[in-house]
Homo-oligomer: A and B are copies of this chain.
């Protein structure tokens, strides 16, 4: 199994202004390709420290990937330092030069500088990785059994070059591949899920089954490392089916889909339209549903009824209901759901009213008290409404509201699957 190290070059990382998400992205990709990551390094635009880090990286790693320092200024030294470390000189890459000239002309910059031309020089013998999301090319360079791969620093450019050039290049060098799937569960905690999945966790070395908590949900990553992608995929798919058999009641997505994406897909499949009446989530549920491209086909409208007056006026909640039980109550939620259905063209309407915190708690109704409603049109044309109350643990306003959005998604999915 080949070893790898990652060297990030960038002063903004050492200042703490930017978090090094590149290292995590590249590490994850390397894992999937069957590489063992030994080190991450970050240095500024400093030749001495780049040299020290490269030397330490190459001591144990077969492949060293760098990010950043490929730009046109005198500060950008990554190419020079890699060439020096590997004992080659820089030569002009004509294709890189032609591409750079084309970009400069298209930007109307006829008098691009010598600095810009610097980007077209690559280490002699390097395989160029042309940049389709920016101007600075990257490359792979092999010498004496070691490989250096240079990538740009901006995450969008780096990820595109990884996908288009570096991953295919590295896949050829690895003798094993990793295949992974992430299963999403809602309504079960991380430890309860781990207990439920024990039969496929205990004593297993491949595939690995790893549950982890994720702001109101639980995710499970199933990974297998095998000689071929077909073998690895077969092992992962079998474990995923066993996970479904063991904890399927809580499983909402087997391929990393977010819950709102699942809801939009199911609505499209069933040809149903959705409406919502939101109080404590304040539009966040509608905002997440409509974050999915194409949601306009299945999402009719939402009533963000934040004030008591708006609950009465928009949804027809009776003043008596508000006076007797308050806005955070089962009866109010029932009328909100029924009102959202009757005041819309939707087939399903959901409603939520609760206390998101940090303020707003009242005796008997702490932060985390939330009521949920679902209304559908019954066979007789009358709305059929069901309401449930929850006492969520207070995890701060942001997470409390997110959990409410997940619960609403859960209610819509279960209603659609009941059909």
**B-binding residues in A (CB < 8 A):** 8, 13-21, 23-31, 37-44, 46, 49, 52-53, 56, 59-60, 212, 221, 276, 278, 281-287, 289-291, 293-296, 299-307, 309-310, 313-314, 343-345, 357-360, 397-398, 401
CA distance A387 to B27 in the complex (A): 49
In the bound complex, how far is the Cα of B344 from the Cα of A307, in angstroms? 10
Q: Which of A18, A56, A293, A310: most chain B Cβ within 10 A?
A: A310
Instruction: Please give, as numbers and ranges, the residues of chain B lying within 8 Å of A398 by CB-CB distance.
Output: 291
Partner of A309, one of B40, B278, B300: B300
Is the CB–CB distance between B296 and A306 below 8 Å?
A: yes
Chain B residue contacts of A290, Cβ below 8 A: 281-284, 304, 306
Complex CA gap A40/B8 in Å reads 9
Instruction: Output the residue of A60, A303, A345 with the most chain B CB within 10 A.
Output: A303
A56 and B7 alpha carbons, distance in the complex (Å): 15
Pairs across A and B, CB under 8 Å, 22 listed: A8-B40, A14-B39, A16-B24, A16-B31, A16-B37, A19-B19, A20-B20, A23-B42, A40-B42, A56-B56, A276-B304, A278-B283, A283-B287, A284-B290, A290-B306, A299-B307, A300-B307, A301-B303, A301-B306, A302-B302, A313-B343, A314-B343
CA distance A15 to B16 in the complex (A): 21
A286 adjacent to B291 (CB under 8 Å): no
Number of copies: 2
Are B295 and A282 in touch, CB under 8 angstroms?
A: yes
Instruction: Check A284 against B287 for contact (C-beta < 8 Å).
Output: yes
Question: In the complex, which of the residues B27, B41, B343 contacts A41, with contact meaning CB atoms closer than 8 Å?
Answer: B41
Q: How far is the CB of A20 from chain B (nearest CB, A)?
A: 6
Q: Closest 9 interchain pairs by CB?
A: A282-B290, A283-B286, A16-B27, A16-B28, A283-B283, A302-B304, A301-B310, A40-B42, A284-B287
Least Cβ distance of A175 to chain B in Å?
19
Q: How many angstroms between the C-alpha atoms of A281 and B25 in the bound complex? A: 30
**B291 near A401 (CB under 8 angstroms)?**
yes
- B299 pairs with A282, CB closer than 8 A: yes
| Chain B minimum-CB-distance residue to A295 | B282
Alpha-carbon gap, A212 to B310, bound state (A): 41
Contact B302 A283 (CB under 8 A): yes
**A39–B31 contact, CB under 8 A?**
no
Q: Report the Cα distance A21→B294, complex, angstroms.
A: 34
A296 to B285, CA, bound (A): 17
Docked-complex contact A13 and B31, CB < 8 angstroms: no
CA distance A276 to B15 in the complex (A): 40
Q: Which residues of B sit under 8 angstroms from A24, Cβ to Cβ?
A: 13, 16-20
> Is the Cβ of B23 less than 8 Å from the Cβ of A309?
no
Q: Is the CB of B291 within 8 A of A300?
A: no
A40: chain B residues at CB < 8 Å are: 8, 13-14, 20, 40-42
